[in-house]
Amino acid sequence: MKKIFLISSILSMSILLFPTTGSAAETPQASMPISAKSRTSILFPMSEPVTLAPITISETTPSSFTDYPEYTFAVSHEPFDYAAPEGTAHQDTFQNRLSFVVEGEQTLTADGVTLTYWTENDNLIVKIHKSDPDKLESFTLADLSLQQNPQKKAILQEHHLYVAFSDSVPDDRLEQEMQVLKEDFIVLEQFYPNAQIDSQQICLSLNTNTLTVNGIEKSVRVSPYVSENGYVMLPLRELATALPNLEVEWDKERNTACLYTADLWHDLLAEIPLGSQTASFHGQTLALREPATEKDGRTFLSLRDAANICGIRNNEITWDAETQTVRIDKDFITYT
């Protein structure tokens, strides 16, 4: 039997902290000179290096590699809550980061870009020596490994890829210099050695009663629509049931849609009252872009509110205005 969970914990409020618009996807990379693309990897607390999926670093403007030729990359967990109760041990984001592993100093030339890369103080250092300032370029690092430093604490779950635009960032400046380049870069798992990544793509189009999951069409009762305020509105139940491990129940007495985990624990994740400008998400009040509405017997929320409440990050959502289609690309952890 296969059990599936969202990589991005639906109990984490961090998915809601990124700037959004009504329909276009925003990502941590949106205002950066470079972007990173790599398939999420699952790692386990380990003493030996584990090979990563290839990482492709691309310019977001033609002169990015010329203007920013030096980079320090780090892999670490999400920041801890700085408002933790007094007396709680606090460790900054990078104190327990994972260690990049590269044999010596490597040189790479690809598509006109020449660079060297090596590791230093657990970080990956990249220095670009040649690039074309008039052309969008990229390079792929396919021989990187990560290792758990035995002297550091293993922080489980999601770890991001961070970057600083310098090749010499002291440890006491990492917290100030580093920026998230790619969320959910790796997941550090401990209890399920047979865990693996399962990638899914879900598409819903306006005014059609079908959705597709990895290219397979499924009939749905209602379709997305655009509200008077210009928000793409998604049916919460249809979205949740297309995702693993989620289900929606309707509380008739309170006129409230309730989102639960579809497992033995049946945890309450969110409560969304009809007509309200707020919802309860993991016990916290969440301001909605558009009040929850009822249409054809279903609760509708704006695209990002519905997706975020279901544990989907903003950078995993794409709105295609030409085809009027919402596309969600999400990685899941599967346990067999």
pLDDT tens, N- to C-terminus, the chain (336 residues) = 444 444 444 333 333 333 333 332 334 455 899 999 988 888 776 667 888 989 999 999 999 999 999 999 999 887 644 444 444 333 467 777 889 999 999 999 998 999 999 999 999 999 999 999 999 999 999 999 998 877 776 666 788 999 999 988 888 888 888 899 998 888 877 766 677 777 889 999 998 989 999 999 999 889 999 999 999 999 999 998 888 778 999 999 999 999 998 766 788 989 999 999 999 988 889 999 999 999 999 999 999 999 888 888 888 899 999 999 999 998 777 666
- Pick from 236, 216, 234, 213: nearest CA to 329: 213
Q: Tell me which of 127, 155, 188 is where a domain ends.
A: 188
Q: How many CA atoms lie within 13 A of 135 on its CB side?
A: 8
Domain hosting 212: range is 197-335
Q: Residue 131 corresponds to which tokens in the numbers above?
A: 């690039």
pTM for this prediction: 0.68
Which of helix, strand or coil describes residue 201?
A: strand
**89 CB-near residues (< 8 Å, 6+ apart):** none
Residue 36 lies in a domain: no
216 beta partners: 213
pLDDT at 264: 66
Looking at the fold, whether 183 and 210 belong to one and the same domain comes out as no
What is the tally of structural domains in the chain? Answer: 2
Looking at the fold, whether 76 and 204 belong to one and the same domain comes out as no
Q: Tell me which of 123, 157, 188 is where a domain ends.
A: 188
Q: Residue 90 corresponds to which tokens in the numbers above?
A: 């606090």
What is the rounded distance in angstroms from the CA atom of residue 17 to the CA atom of residue 287? 12
pLDDT at 282: 83
Q: Residue 40 corresponds to which tokens in the numbers above?
A: 């999420």
Looking at the fold, whether 260 and 167 belong to one and the same domain comes out as no
Looking at the fold, whether 161 and 57 belong to one and the same domain comes out as yes
What is the rounded distance in angstroms from the CA atom of residue 314 to the CA atom of residue 304? 7
pLDDT at 199: 83
Main-chain dihedrals φ then ψ at residue 237, nearest 5 degrees: -65, -40
Looking at the fold, whether 230 and 174 belong to one and the same domain comes out as no
The H or E element spanning position 240 is helix 236-242
Looking at the fold, whether 147 and 252 belong to one and the same domain comes out as no
Residue 113 lies in a domain: yes
Q: Tell me which of 146, 169, 188 is where a domain ends.
A: 188
pLDDT at 334: 65
Residue 12 lies in a domain: no
Residue 34 lies in a domain: no
Residue 262 lies in a domain: yes
Distance of CA 47 to the CA centre of its chain: 26
